[in-house]
Copies of this chain bind each other. A is one copy, B any other.
């Protein structure tokens, strides 16, 4: 626990709130344990007080020339080397005591990236893309990590997960965690990982084809020891402009 000198408290009550932007980034990965796919997210280790040494969401102060979404995309690229396939504003967190030092209002975005966009690194020491020991990927439900996050970042991640589950259930964004062409079974794996329950393949197929803008391709995915599934492509539009921002 960090101590708060009296001077800091006084300072905090009079300075204007600082504006920061942070991002919760989700990717889908094979889970060694369960054998299934599961959700992972990158965190950065703090190199300064407060919470020095603890893991936190990537983020930073809002520069005077960045729009909010640009700031989110930029610090995401800087810290993880990734370009998101989906980026949406999550919430603005502004409680008085969320930072022990000065008052900070954080506007948080959440993002989806494809598995192949995300360099696979299980430990900080083997981080590939940036070779930065202060960036690492964790399972989104890893209790030992969640329990030790800086600031209110655990609450933020849990809210982002709640939003993701809602979005995937009622919207059509699952494909953003996959490649450009995908099988219906892969989409089902996304749903199963996010909602954490198994779904009937037959019924899922029917619902998906009825509800979302999906286009058959002429290609099939061979290689498995079974009948090769057809590959599909997404051809949809987004709902409300503010509810989603596409990158590339």
Residues of A at under 8 Å CB distance from B? 12-17, 19, 62, 64-65, 67-68, 89, 91-92, 94-96, 103, 105, 107, 159, 162, 240, 242
Are the CB atoms of B67 and A94 closer together than 8 Å?
yes
* In the complex with contacts A91-B89, A240-B159, A240-B162, A105-B64 CB distance below 8 A: no
* In the complex with contacts A159-B240, A240-B159, A242-B159, A94-B107 CB distance below 8 A: yes
The smallest C-beta distance from A72 to any residue of chain B, in angstroms, reads 10
* In the complex with contacts A89-B92, A91-B242, A159-B242, A103-B64 CB distance below 8 A: yes
Contact partner, A65, options B92, B96, B162, B240, Cβ 8 Å: B96
Among A19, A96, A162, residue most surrounded by chain B Cβ atoms (within 10 Å) = A19
A95 contact set on B, CB distance < 8 A: 67-68
Contact partner, A68, options B14, B68, B105, B159, Cβ 8 Å: B105
